[in-house]
Amino acid sequence: MDLGILWYLVPSVLMFACGVYGFVTRKNLIAILISLELMLNAADLNFVAFNRYIFPGQMEGMIFTLFAIAIAAAETAIAIAIIINVYRAIGNTDINEIKKLKF
Amino acid sequence: MDITLPILILAIPISMFLILGIGGVKMSRKTAGVLGILGMGTTLTLAYTVAFTYFFSGDPAFIVDGVRQQLQVFDVTWLAFTDTLVVHLGFLLDPISAMMLVVITTISFMVHLYSWGYMEHEPGFQRYYSFLSLFSFSMLGLVVATNIFQMYIFWELVGVSSYLLIGFFYKLPSAVSASKKAFIVTRFADLGFLIGILLLSFYTDTFNFMELTHNPEGVLASTGGATFMGASVLTWALVLIYVGGMGKSAMMPLHIWLPDAMEGPTPVSALIHAATMVVAGVYLVARMFPVYLMEETALLFITCVGAITAFYAAVVACCQIDIKRILAFSTISQIAFMMVALGVTRPGLHDGMGYMSSMFHLFTHAMFKALLFLGAGALIHAVHSNNYTEMGGLRKYMPITHWTFLIGCLAIAGIWPFAGFFSKDEMLTAMFANNWIWGAWMTMVAGLTAFYMFRMYFMVFWWEENPHYKEHKPHDAPWQMSVPLIFLAAVSCVSGFIPFGELVTWNRLPYHIHIDPQVATTSLIIAAFGIGLAAWLFMKRNHKPAAMKNAMPGLWKAANRRFYWDEFYMFVTHKIIFNIFCRSIAWFDRHVIDATMDGFAKVTQKTSVAVKGMQSGSIQAYVVWYFLGAVAVAAITWICLL
């Protein structure tokens, strides 16, 4: 196997690591949502790359990615709606303010 | 025989129970009473039809060459556990079950009628009638049982209905404890019954009475001579079955519940605790009699228990004050009489006359003891007390009750020509034929019977008038109560002349009764002596009874306290069983079983308190933990795959 696939996998890992880092450290809900999208896209990138390099004659990875993009869009819409409602309720979008769901 | 009538005999009382039990609250007292009486009246007519057809029609289905047949009118499979363990329910018609149909329905109908007057003002009148119907159903089912398991089922049902009726006045603590006592004691005895049933059916592979009694040699052979603790297995089985009978029939030492059962309404005492349910033990032995004949040890046990109980109960009855208790002990004594008569029966002695006389006495005793109890009910109704100390001189105020009660007392004392004379004479003849000791002992008991019955009679109707009569004049009971009294008194006068030997014998062949003049004279003299002594002591107010009591205070007190049997049971249950066994078991339960469970709960609780901080509500913390976990799983998987 040539090194071609690495050109896709390395950026994907970097994107995913950035996503995790952002998700854990950001305080703003919007920033967390963006980090989430980053992780999702890293995964999509992997699908496409593996499909292209390991099973070149098939289309499953591509189609799955299309699905994932569509579902991510829907999920983002819901997340945005929740964030708006949280903002209306408490006046900001700080993750540290919404910790009531505990023991 | 057509199965319609037998089915209706059982179906009418149980449907009455359901109708009155479920719909009773919506009914008026009058509707409920009339319904109950009509239902029982119909059952009475049907039972008489069946019994009279059986005895007197001469149909070859019932009698062949002078031998009365046993037939199962129907016998359906009720529970089939396995191919061999099958429980049937059916209707067995033979001389003793036909006789019992007559006894039960007659007494039950009289009690239904009598209760209409007696219970008129009691709350729960409808409930009372539904329980009476339940009892009648259970008792009828018991006597017509085709197999020992069916008998056991109905045996428990009569126990339950007895419990319900003793505790009818459920607001009285004494009634509640009496009902519990009756249930627990009889239930304890039924444990023996059950073990006996299992033991017997284990060896014989059958519950069916006809299969058991038509081939008793086969039953004996099937045990293969197995023994346990020196006695044969068959003896054990029969004695254990008899223990069930001891519980129901109040034989010593399981007699303690019957006197307390008098807390129930008086008509109930007449029906259940005098005439029908308490003779179930006698009936059980009679039903299995050919098998009992195979093991004379078991019969000897029955005889000894009966003889001791008869004497004990007679002595205690001499020193009671509550008239219902006197009658209760008299019942115990008379049932023990029947047991002894069964126990001494051998085919070789007067063609097994003891069996016939025992059943004869069961019949006559049911009639006159129900009469005495209903008479006692009328007295209690008039005087509002159970104690004869509140009565005295009542003969002028309550003539009907007086005359019927006198007939009952003469019948139980065994005076010619009343019913008790004939049956008691036959029993004593059978006892003398077996061994003169039994005969002499039971003749003495018969004398005591005459004495204590007439002691009560004179204390209630003669002695001295209670001064309270001026304020509250006692009077005879209403017609609903007088009619049963007069009817039963008439039956007690004439039932001795029934040719009982032609109808009911152990081998179902006719037996011609003839009075043994020697035994009859002796028992008459003894009875007359007992009555005379009672008259001398109690007819007019005098100081002789008090002087006698003061001469032997210890004996009087012991007999009055029933020779401390209840105290003995209290000591055994409370001091020994509760204190020693139950406490140690309770300690084990609390400190070992409960403690283990508590330990699990404590560990769980401690752990959750320790880790609950992890549920912080902070999503980012969760993600960190999740991420670390995923990395760890990946690392482990990787290491494993290497």
Q: Is B587 exposed, middle or buried (0-12, 13-18, 19+ CB in 10 A)?
A: exposed
Work out the minimum CA distance from B603 to partner chain A, whole angstroms.
19
Tell me the chain A residues in contact with residue B617 when contact means C-beta distances shorter than 8 Å.
Answer: 98-102
The predicted pLDDT at position B134 comes to 93
Spatial neighbors of A27 by CB under 8 A, at least 6 apart, are A94, A95, A96
| 3-state secondary structure labels for all residues of B174-241 | HHHHHHHHHHHHHHHHHHHHHHHHHHHHHHHCCCEHHHHHHCHHHHHHHCCCCEECCEEHHHHHHHHH
Chain A residue nearest residue B624, CA to CA: A24
Mean pLDDT value of segment A50-71: 90
In DSSP notation, B523-588 reads HHHHHHHHHHHHHHHHSB--SHHHHHHHHSHHHHHHHHTGGGHHHHHHIIIIIIIIIIIIHHHHHH
CA distances from B52 to B102, B152, B421, B502 (A): 9, 27, 25, 13
pLDDT at A1 over 60: no
What are the sequence ranges of the domains in chain A? 6-90
Say whether B617 and A102 touch across the interface (CB within 8 A): yes
Residues lower than pLDDT 70 in chain B:
none
Burial profile B489-519: b = 16 or more Cβ within 10 angstroms, e = fewer: bebbbebbebebbbbbbbebebbebeebeeb
**B612 reaches A (C-beta below 8 A):** yes
Amino acid B195 reads I
Tell me the chain A residues in contact with residue B629 when contact means C-beta distances shorter than 8 Å.
Answer: none
Tell me the chain B residues in contact with residue A25 when contact means C-beta distances shorter than 8 Å.
Answer: 620
Quickly count helices (H) and strands (E) in chain B: 28, 6
**Element of type H or E holding B67:** strand B67-68
The predicted pLDDT at position B102 comes to 92
**B615 reaches A (C-beta below 8 A):** yes
Say whether B617 and A101 touch across the interface (CB within 8 A): yes
Quickly count helices (H) and strands (E) in chain A: 3, 0
Given CATH 1.10.1530.10, say whether it is the number of domain A6-90. Answer: no
Say whether A24 and B617 touch across the interface (CB within 8 A): no
Say whether A99 and B618 touch across the interface (CB within 8 A): yes
* CB hemisphere CA count around B413 (13 angstroms): 28
Please write the tens of the pLDDT for every residue from B73-110.
888 888 888 887 888 899 998 889 999 999 999 999 99
Spatial neighbors of B219 by CB under 8 A, at least 6 apart, are B200, B203, B204, B212, B234, B291, B294
Tell me the chain A residues in contact with residue B620 when contact means C-beta distances shorter than 8 Å.
Answer: 23-25, 32, 95
**Chain mean pLDDT for chain A:** 89
Name the residue with tokens 């509707």: B31
| Residue A3 pLDDT class (50, 70, 90 cuts) | low
**B609 reaches A (C-beta below 8 A):** no
Considering only CB atoms, B617 lies closest to which of A24, A25, A99, namely: A99
The predicted pLDDT at position A75 comes to 92
Considering only CB atoms, B617 lies closest to which of A23, A24, A100, namely: A100
Tell me the chain A residues in contact with residue B613 when contact means C-beta distances shorter than 8 Å.
Answer: 103
**B616 reaches A (C-beta below 8 A):** yes
CA distance A19 to A17: 5
Tell me the chain A residues in contact with residue B615 when contact means C-beta distances shorter than 8 Å.
Answer: 102-103
CA proximity to B426, closest of B519, B307, B317: B519
Say whether B616 and A24 touch across the interface (CB within 8 A): no
Tell me the chain A residues in contact with residue B624 when contact means C-beta distances shorter than 8 Å.
Answer: 24
Work out the minimum CA distance from A17 to partner chain B, whole angstroms.
11
**What's the token pair of residue B166?**
């003793």
CA distance B100 to B156: 18
Tell me the chain A residues in contact with residue B627 when contact means C-beta distances shorter than 8 Å.
Answer: 20, 24
Q: How many CB atoms lie within 10 A of CB B486?
A: 15
The predicted pLDDT at position A2 comes to 61
**B623 reaches A (C-beta below 8 A):** yes
Residues 94-153 of B with CB under 8 A from A: none
Tell me the chain A residues in contact with residue B616 when contact means C-beta distances shorter than 8 Å.
Answer: 99, 102
CA proximity to B251, closest of B315, B155, B339, B159: B339
Tell me the chain B residues in contact with residue A20 when contact means C-beta distances shorter than 8 Å.
Answer: 623, 627
A30 and A95 Cβ atoms separated by less than 8 Å = no
Say whether B620 and A20 touch across the interface (CB within 8 A): no
Chain A residue nearest residue B621, CA to CA: A24
In sequence order, what are the beta bridge partners of B208? B147
**Element of type H or E holding B337:** helix B323-343
Chain A residue nearest residue B615, CA to CA: A102
| Residue A64 pLDDT class (50, 70, 90 cuts) | very high
A→B contacts (Cβ < 8 Å), by residue, are 20, 23-25, 32, 95-96, 98-103
Q: Most B CBs within 10 Å: which of A24, A93, A96, A103, as the mutation test of the B interface?
A: A103
